[in-house]
Structures are given as structure tokens and as C-alpha cells.
Amino acid sequence: MGTRKALGRGLSALIPGAPTASRPGAPAGPPPADVEADSAPLYIAISKIAPNPNQPRRVFREEELASLAASIREQGILQPLVVRRRQDGYELIIGERRWRASQLVGLDEVPAVILDATDRAVVEMALVENVQRAELNAIELASAFQVLIHDEGMTQEEVGRRVGLERSSIANHLRLLELPAEIQQDVVDGRLAMGHAKAILQAPEPDRIRVRDQVVRQALSVRATEELARRVASSDASDKPARSGPTRDVFLVDLEDQLRRALQTKVRIVGRRGKGRIELHYFGDAELDRLTEKLLGGSL
């Protein structure tokens, strides 16, 4: 069977007449040189196809799969899957949603184009296709970029050219992986937007969970989150000389920690046991009201 070079331009490069979903203004980039495709799709048993372990997309929502399954039940699969051969069958490259939905429908076989592709090309193709369709959240994108850079040796510039993004955008996504796992999961689940996550990165590492808690609790905007993170960072910087001094009373340090946990905000005790002051930090009217009510025991 004849072969032809493919990819870098969506499925239209693989299958004549197949629709493509490019983002406006996104450069396609040159196709990978290590990919070849069979000339026509074949019908392959679903049981012979395994998911791609490096699939960038990790979240497959049940309601979306149910809707796609209903469409497949009525109209069939309009766009073939893309797979590659392996010893015990085939591995998915593109089309995992269609593959999953087809199982819900109860199909025995699905149309698929078979590629001969390297591991690097598989990761790249799956990433490009998902980016073109805007189906990945920011953490999934960041994780896929990390695979291409750390495992496959690509530079940030090379990844950017492949997916049609600026190098700075690639770098910003990668920084999200510095966040605690809880905050990354918030982005995956949609509780936080990428803008919120980027803003939280401005806060010192020990304070990021606390900032996140306030953002979620008060449903802060991205701009408000940026301001909150800046204030926390500034407050931490001004506290460092007093906190790092070797003569601080251990009792007062422990009391600070107790007050911080009880009030869920930054607390600073200035002075000594005999005389001093307690400083409570708040960020916004809502938190001031919360602290006031907590300190007065709800007697307002």
C-alpha cells in the first residue's frame, strides 16, 4: 500500500476532504519528517485499539461523551481516528473522544487512518490537534509542553512554532506546574482560570494555598487576585527582617502560628511578652468584615 508524508496541518493533511479546525492566525509549522500515513482509512476493531498513554487531554467529561455518543448513534463516525501499529494491536494518536463515545454506543469497529510515527511525533500530533480544537485546559497544555521539552529535547521556541504560540506563552504555561497540586487541580476542574493561577504565582510559595483559598471563597476576579498576590508578596518581604531575627521569643512565634491558623490570615506580633502589638493583615473589604465578625464573636 502506498504511503505519503503527513501532519502539521491537522487531519486534512492525512485524509483528503477531512475538516480542520485551525485557530485564526496560528502558523501551522512544517510537518514532522518522521510520520507516514496509509493512503486510506480502514475499519479496526475497537478492542484492538489502546489509548495513548501520553495523550495531552486528561479530562473527558461524561456529558460531552454522552452527546457525542448520541451523534455517532445517529450519523456514525464522520472523521476517522488516527492510530499507529503496535505489537498487540493499535495505539490511538488522535480521536480518543470518538473512541470512548463509540464504546458507549456499542460499536465493534471504527474507521481509522494508520500512521507509522515515532513517539515524539505521536506526542506532537496529539498536542497540535488538541490545541487547534482548543480542547485542552492550561495544565494539560503545560504537561504536554513539558513532555516535548524534557523528554523529547525540543526548545520552547520549537514547541511554540508547532502549536502556533509565542515562546512566552509556552513559558507561562510551564510555570503553572510550579503551583501546588491542589491549585493545578482547580484549573483542571474549572474553579480557577489560567489568569488566576498566573496571579497566584506572584505570591511567595508558602502563601499560595492561602491566597487560593481566599480567591475561591470570595470568587475574586483575575485583577483582584493579582492585587491580592502582590500585597501578600509585599507583606512577606517587609516581614522578613523581623521574622528572621535570632532573638525572637519562641513563645511569640508559636502564638503567631496559633493566631494565623485560627484567623486564617497573616498575623504579626511586634515587641515582646511585656509590651507590643498584634498586627492582622487583610486584603479587601470582605476579609475585613470576616475578621471583624470572628474577633467580635458575631456580635455586630
Q: Can you name the residues that pair with 279 across neighbouring β-strands?
A: 268
SS3 for 40?
coil
Count of C-beta atoms within a 10 Å radius of residue 287: 18
Looking at every residue in the chain, the average pLDDT score rounds to: 76
The CATH number of the domain holding residue 153 is: 3.90.1530.10
Q: 195 and 157 share a domain?
A: no
Same domain, 228 and 277: yes
Rounded to whole angstroms, the Cα distance separating 18 from 171 reads 33
CA-to-CA distance for 67 and 75, rounded, in angstroms?
12
Residue 300: inside a domain: no
Residue 61 confidence (pLDDT): 72
Final residue of a structural domain among 177, 204, 225 = 177
Q: Which of 63, 74, 96, 152 is catalytic?
A: 96
pLDDT in tens, 220-237: 888 888 888 888 888 766
DSSP per-residue letters across 227-280 = HHHHHHHHHHHHHHHHHH-TT--HHHHHHHHHHHHHHTS-EEEEE-SSSEEEEE
- Taking only the tens place, the pLDDT of each residue in 37-47 is 555 678 999 99
Residue 192 is assigned to a structural domain of this protein? yes
Domain shared by 54 and 164, yes or no: yes
Q: Are 130 and 56 in contact (CB under 8 A)?
A: yes
Q: Is the model's pTM score more than 0.75?
A: no
Final residue of a structural domain among 127, 161, 177:
177
Q: Which cell is 24 given?
A: 485564526
Give the chain's radius of gyration (CA, Å): 26
Question: Catalytic annotation on 96?
Answer: yes
What pLDDT is stored for residue 123 in this prediction? Answer: 74
Note whether residue 102 is domain-resident: yes
pLDDT by residue (tens digit) across 160-175? 887 778 888 889 999 9
Phi, psi of 32 (to 5 degrees): -60, 140
Q: Choose from 180-184, 234-238, 265-269 the range with maximum mean pLDDT.
A: 180-184
Q: Is residue 246 part of a domain?
A: yes
Q: What DSSP state is assigned to residue 202? A: T
The CATH number for 273's domain is: 1.10.10
Q: How far is C-alpha 63 from the chain's CA centre?
A: 20
Non-local (6+) Cβ contacts of 149 within 8 A are 155, 156, 159, 174
pLDDT of residue 197 exceeding 90: yes
Dist CA 277 CA 280 (whole Å): 10
Asked whether residue 22 carries a pLDDT value surpassing 70, the answer given is no
∠ Cα 84 85 91 (to 5°)? 55
By residue range, what is the domain housing residue 95? 3-177
Identify whether 83 is part of a domain.
Answer: yes
Where among 177, 212, 239 does a domain terminate?
Answer: 177
Residue 300 has what pLDDT? 45
**H-helix or E-strand spanning residue 83:** strand 81-86
Confidence (pLDDT) at 209? 92
Query: Which residues sit opposite 278 in a β-bridge?
Result: 269
**How far apart (Å, rounded) are the C-alpha atoms in residues 264 and 211?**
10
Structural domain includes residue 232: yes
Q: 10-24, 57-71, 111-125: lowest mean pLDDT where?
A: 10-24
Q: Within this chain, do residues 101 and 21 fall inside the same structural domain, yes or no? A: yes
Q: At 135, is the pLDDT very low, low, confident or very high (cuts 50, 70, 90)?
A: low
Dihedral angle at the C-alpha atoms of 84, 86, 88, 90, nearest 10 degrees? -10
Total domains present in the chain: 2
Q: What is the dihedral of CA 262, 263, 264, 265, to 10 degrees?
A: -140
